[in-house]
Structure 1
């Protein structure tokens, strides 16, 4: 990779502080960092020039919550409810996973993200039954080339939680920056308050943010869990509330005041019967909110589907309560606001000079995208995975001309298919 890359002739969309169409301008990247955005930037001798004619150039998408290991059981339960998900996926299929199955699923799932323009991923990984499972997950994320926050959820002996979390933290301590770590907590609403105290204690000790399923199990559980976190001072540790559906507006304001963030999976939340996504209410209360695919066992895995769904559900709220939600809001959630949820807003999510060059180029020369008058509206309402032409992560081109680079995709698919057969048919 050359040290300088120049993206020319594209229609550029930035997202900070709010999504805006900059028009036909260029983007200059040096050593993986955006250094200049403007019209008619001069070509630099030896630079790689990417001709973005007929393309929309924008920051890469940020998925704030995905169980990436489940790529091998895609659509295994397309019409399942949440209790069935717990029974079929977590209690029946998950224990069958060997480390090699975790590796196959995570590698394929991360590459699926890159193929669809998702350049950053919070991998909420509750398949960590042994150190071997964990090492396989980290190896797959590293080899994929995606920017990932490994949400480590300890699934083994509770007595080993602190020790193993420290081991994983050390495993990632020398990482170049593409793979970092968060603590994926099971408490207090799923695994109880005692476990939550230990999880947040370990996270605070290791300087890790926490991501937890909070607020998705009914109003009483949501209120009780929030009060527990507040009364024990746990929200001093940066915390993402995943599926924050059942909080009142007043409770959402308390979460905002504590510095909390939220992640919504609008397709999955509706499909599993968890509740109506509260992205608009959370944002109105001051809670930064991102989007996540959650699980492909019953939901799509691309950001275009998520943006369209949250846009539709917000604008379809009763009595017109969500009609102020726009396509620009949806795109913001999928980019800079998602980066804020992950604590990476100073690193990715927009085209501000000094940030990492995580970028996506979308085709506009297709029947589904041609003659679009509002590029942002077209990204949210008309684009799909087939529109993703070129993807860069930290300035490195990982997809070009509609094709992923750097991996033997046939071998990846074969390994995933064989693993899926072993898991589902065993």
Structure 2
């Protein structure tokens, strides 16, 4: 009989801990939801032994920007071109959601992302039309077993934003008392601020001050030129605020973010396909701003962080080579500092950096003893692990289909290629019925 401990045995352990490094033929011992020991030939009598032969054992992936309520809208965003088109054909459907639709959409999205190796997600929920909408999403999060920072959206119905703000913040206070006082909760509360495109700086200030009074992590869409300057001038920039997208940042604005310890969430696949400038990822990284990655909207992007990792690497590589050509350094040749982007660096965007960005750097992001056991076990396939850095294999030779197992807080949520504790017939029926109710004849 197992004593409650789990020993992952004989895998290629990619710890992302600079002191531990990668361990060939490595073991990971899990006890009470946390990593107890990492090394070779760990002796743990009484522990359940799970073979990891031929597998990569790595930290779970962290998505720092996902609109989970859009899961039933999958595909609708593929034909849009620009924000007005998106607003007309996708975002307008938000009014068709009630609390049950929010629950079902969040539940199906959470399981989809878990199945793809995302152990932690920042759910940027900008469809909180009522308190019950938020409660519906939170109920789903409690059911999936995924680790979640639920960023309560302050964007409601546009004609009632100002008058509803006090009651919304009161609801945030109540939820924070329920969720954030117990550190064992997998679901925590954060705040998704009103976008400056739709609100005054004083409106945003009121939200920021309320969130900081409660100790909440915050995130904000940053799409319009000079918004970071406006936040800086108002004294609102700090490391507890995670801007998203930020493709139009000047070097000076990047410097402001770096000086206050901010990270940025990039949704490279969606941003690139929508025509945004992609140079900011590399510029921000070089300046000391922590890059992190998100899927963004399931209406046009699959909730698959492995796809985001590869897209980000390739986009950054292309941007860097374009810069070399513009500077007359062609054909490209290696020199100190070029190329800047590496596979391991990008992998850290969705693990180490992301954990820090959502306030969980001490608990997540690396396979370090004492941290939470949020782990992905990745099959290497018929031909084994690629040569060189194991990060090469993770980014360039694997997909979400290769995931054997996913653990969150030391509990298997997927094992031997199959999600656990899920009624698949019911899940499929929920997804079909939800899509019918929301999309209808749209």
TM-score interval w.r.t. the shorter chain? over 0.9
Deviation of 1:334 (Å): 1.3
SS of the residue aligned with 1:169?
Answer: helix
**Structure 2 length-normalised TM:** 0.90
Residue 325 of structure 1 corresponds to which residue in structure 2?
Answer: 341
Q: Does 1:195 align with 2:195?
A: no
SS of the residue aligned with 2:365?
Answer: coil
Q: What is the correspondence of 1:37-48 to structure 2 with a 5 Å cutoff?
A: 37-45=38-46, 47-48=47-48
Deviation of 1:178 (Å): 0.7
Q: What is the correspondence of 1:11-410 to structure 2 with a 5 Å cutoff?
A: 11-17=12-18, 20-45=21-46, 47-81=47-81, 82-90=83-91, 92-154=92-154, 155=156, 157-175=164-182, 176-214=184-222, 216-217=223-224, 221=225, 223=226, 225-236=227-238, 238-276=240-278, 278-317=280-319, 318-320=322-324, 323-366=339-382, 370-374=384-388, 375-410=390-425
The count of residues paired between Structure 1 and Structure 2 equals 416
Deviation of 1:20 (Å): 4.3
Deviation of 1:311 (Å): 0.4
SS of the residue aligned with 1:252?
Answer: helix
Deviation of 1:147 (Å): 0.5
SS of the residue aligned with 2:152?
Answer: strand
Cα distance in 2 between the residues matched to 1:18 and 1:419 = 47
**Structure 1 length-normalised TM:** 0.93
Distance verdict in 2 for CA 1:17–1:212, change over 3 Å: farther
Cα distance in 2 between the residues matched to 1:190 and 1:278 = 24
Deviation of 1:205 (Å): 1.7
Cα distance in 2 between the residues matched to 1:355 and 1:179 = 17
Match of 2:435 among 404, 420, 423: 420
Q: Deviations over 1:308-348 (max 9, x none)?
A: 11101111112339732011111111111111111111011
Q: Deviations over 1:273-294 (max 9, x none)?
A: 3432522111111111110000
SS of the residue aligned with 2:377?
Answer: strand
Q: Deviations over 1:101-135 (max 9, x none)?
A: 11111011111111011100000001111111111
Cα distance in 1 between the residues matched to 2:192 and 2:362 = 22
SS of the residue aligned with 1:335?
Answer: helix
